[in-house]
Chains A and B, each alone.
Chain A
Amino acid sequence: MSDSLIDIVDAWKVYTLGEVQVPAVRGVALKVSRGEFVAITGPSGSGKSTFMHLLGCLDRLSSGTYRFENQPIHQLSKLQLSRLRNRRIGFVFQSFNLLSRTTIVDNVALPLVYQGVKKKDRRRLAAELLERLGLGDRLRHHTNQLSGGQQQRVAIARALITRPAMLLADEPTGNLDTKTSHEIMTLFQQLNRNEGITVVVVTHEAEIAAFAKRHVMFRDGLIVQDVMQATAA
Chain B
Amino acid sequence: MNPLIILSESLRSLQKNKVRTGLSVLGIVIGIAAVITMVAVGEGARRRVEKEIATLGDDWIMISYWGMQRGGARRQQGMPPNFTSDDADAIERECSAVRGATPVNRITMQVVSSYGNYQTNVLGARPKYFDIRRWQMSAGREFNADDMRMLNKVCCIGATVARELFGAVNPVGETVRINRVAFDIVGLLESKGVGSDGRDNDDTVLVPFTSLERYLAGSERSGTLLAAAKQGYDPATARQQIRDLLRQRHRLAEDEDDDFRIFDRSLTMQANAEATRTFNTLLTTIASISLLVGGVGIMNIMLVSVTERTREIGLRMAIGAAGYQVLEQFLCEAVVLCGMGGLFGFILGWLVSKLVSWNYGWDTIISPWMAGLAVAFATLVGVFFGFYPAWRASQLDPIEALRYE
Query: Does B247 sit at the interface, judged by CB under 8 A?
Result: no
Contact with B along A48-59 (1 / 0, CB 8 A): 000001001011
As a 0/1 sequence over residues 133 to 170 of chain A, the CB contacts with chain B under 8 angstroms (1 = contact) are 00000000000000000000000001000100000000
Could you list 27 A-B pairs, sorted by A, with CB under 8 Å? A56-B318, A58-B318, A59-B399, A82-B317, A82-B322, A85-B318, A85-B319, A87-B320, A91-B319, A93-B315, A93-B402, A97-B314, A97-B315, A99-B312, A99-B315, A100-B16, A102-B12, A102-B16, A110-B316, A114-B319, A114-B322, A114-B325, A115-B320, A116-B2, A119-B8, A158-B319, A162-B320
A58 interface neighbour in B312, B316, B321, B399, Cβ under 8 Å: B399
Interface centre among B2, B8, B325, B402 (most CB of A within 10 A): B402
CB neighbours (8 Å) of B324 from chain A are: 79
Give the distance in Å from the alpha carbon of A58 to the alpha carbon of B322 in the complex.
12
Assess whether B5 is interfacial by the CB under 8 Å rule: yes
Q: Answer yes or no: B398 CB below 8 A from chain A CBs.
A: yes
Chain A 40-53, CB within 8 Å of chain B: the 1/0 string? Answer: 00000000000001
Instruction: Determine which of A53, A87, A97, A116 lies in contact with B311 in the assembled complex, contact meaning CB atoms within 8 Å.
Output: A97
Q: Does B92 contact A (CB under 8 A)?
A: no
In this assembly, does A124 line the interface, its C-beta being within 8 Å of a C-beta of chain B? no
In the bound complex, residues from chain B placing their C-beta under 8 Å from that of A53 are 399
Residue B386 lies at the interface, judged by CB distance under 8 Å to chain A:
no
Q: Is A31 an interface residue (CB 8 A)?
A: no
B315 touching A116, Cβ below 8 Å = no
Chain B stretch 376-405: residues in CB contact (< 8 A) with chain A: 398-399, 402
Instruction: Report yes or no: B315 in contact with A82, Cβ–Cβ below 8 A.
Output: no
Q: Among residues 300 to 324 in chain B, which have CB atoms less than 8 Å away from a CB atom of chain A? A: 311-312, 314-324
Q: For B321, what are the chain A residues with a Cβ–Cβ distance below 8 Å?
A: 82, 86, 114
When distances are taken between beta carbons in the complex, the residues of chain B under 8 Å from A116 are 1-2, 5
- Which residues on A sit within 8 Å (CB–CB) of B316? 110, 114
Does A113 sit within 8 A of B, measured CB to CB?
yes
Q: What residues on B are CB-neighbors of A58 within 8 Å?
A: 318, 398-399
A85 to B318, CA, bound (A): 7
Q: Are B399 and A119 in contact (CB under 8 A)?
A: no
Known: A97-B315, A99-B312. A111 touches B399 (CB 8 A): no
B16 / chain A contacts, CB cutoff of 8 Å: 100-102
Chain A residues whose C-beta falls within 8 Å of the C-beta of B1 in the assembled complex:
113-114, 116
Q: A93 CA to B2 CA in the complex, in Å? A: 28
- Residue B9, interface by CB 8 Å: yes
CB distance from B329 to the nearest CB of A (A): 9
Further contacts, 4 of them, CB under 8 A, given A82-B322, A114-B321: A58-B399, A113-B5, A114-B1, A162-B320
Residue of A nearest to B315 (CB): A97
Instruction: Kindly provide the distance from the CB of B328 to the nearest chain A CB, expressed in whole angstroms.
Output: 11
Q: Is the CB of A86 within 8 A of B320?
A: yes
A114 touches B320 (CB 8 A): yes
Return A94 CB to nearest CB of chain B, in Å.
10
* Contact partners of A97 in chain B: CB under 8 A: 311-312, 314-315, 402
* Chain B residues closer than 8 Å to A101, beta-carbon distance: 16
| A193 interface residue per 8 A CB criterion | no
| Pair A91/B8 contact, Cβ less than 8 Å | no
Chain B residues with CB under 8 A of A100? 16
Give the distance in Å from the alpha carbon of A97 to the alpha carbon of B312 in the complex.
7
Complex: chain A residue closest to B318, CB-CB: A91
State in angstroms the CA–CA spacing of A82 and B313 once bound together.
Answer: 13
Task: List residues of B (1-26) whose CB comes within 8 Å of A's CBs.
Answer: 1-2, 5, 8-9, 12, 16
Contacts of A83 in B (CB 8 A): 320, 322
Which B residues lie within 8 Å of A56 (CB)? 318
- Please name the 5 residue pairs, one residue from A and one from B, whose CB atoms are nearest each other, closest first: A86-B320, A82-B322, A97-B315, A101-B16, A111-B319
- CB-nearest residue of chain A relative to B8? A119
Q: Mark A92-112, 1 if CB is under 8 A from B, else 0.
A: 010001011110001000110
Whether A79 lies near B322 (C-beta < 8 A) is yes
B398 — which chain A residues lie within 8 A by C-beta?
A: 58
Which residues of the other chain, A, contact B311 by a CB distance below 8 angstroms?
Answer: 97
The answer to whether B319 touches A86, judged by C-beta atoms less than 8 angstroms apart, is: yes
- Among B5, B323, B325: residue with most chain A CB under 10 A: B5
Neighbouring B residues of A99 by C-beta, 8 Å: 312, 315
CA distance A91 to B1 in the complex (A): 22
Question: Which chain A residue shows the least CB distance to B317?
Answer: A82
Distance A116 CA – B1 CA, assembled complex (angstroms): 6
In Å, the complex CA distance between A91 and B319 comes to 7
Residues of A within 8 A of B2 (CB): 116
Nearest Cβ distance between residue A232 and chain B, in whole angstroms? 28
Are A111 and B312 also in contact (CB < 8 A) when A58-B398, A58-B399 are? no
Which of A93, A106, A111 contacts B320, CB < 8 Å? A111
Chain B residues within an 8 Å CB radius of A162: 320
In whole Å, how far is B319's beta carbon from the nearest beta carbon of chain A? 5
A110–B318 Cα distance when bound, in Å, is 11
Query: Shortest Cβ distance from A156 into chain B, in angstroms?
Result: 13
Report the Cα distance A115→B322, complex, angstroms.
11
Instruction: Please determine whether A82 and B320 come into contact, CB atoms closer than 8 angstroms.
Output: yes
Question: What is the bound-complex CA distance between A29 and B319, given in angstroms?
Answer: 25
What mask results when residues 149 to 175 of chain B are scored 1 for a CB within 8 Å of chain A, else 0? 000000000000000000000000000
Query: For the complex, what is the distance from the CA of A78 to the CA of B8, rounded to whole Å?
Result: 26
Within 8 Å CB of B399, what residues of A?
53, 58-59
A-side contacts of B325, CB under 8 Å: 114
Interface string of B313-349 (1 = CB under 8 A from A): 0111111111111000000000000000000000000
* CB closest chain-B residue, reference A117: B5
In the complex, what distance in Å separates the CA atom of A90 from the CA atom of B2?
23
Contacts of A87 in B (CB 8 A): 320
- In the complex, which residues of chain B have a beta carbon less than 8 angstroms from the beta carbon of A85? 318-320
- Would you give the shortest CB distance from B14 to chain A, in whole angstroms? 11
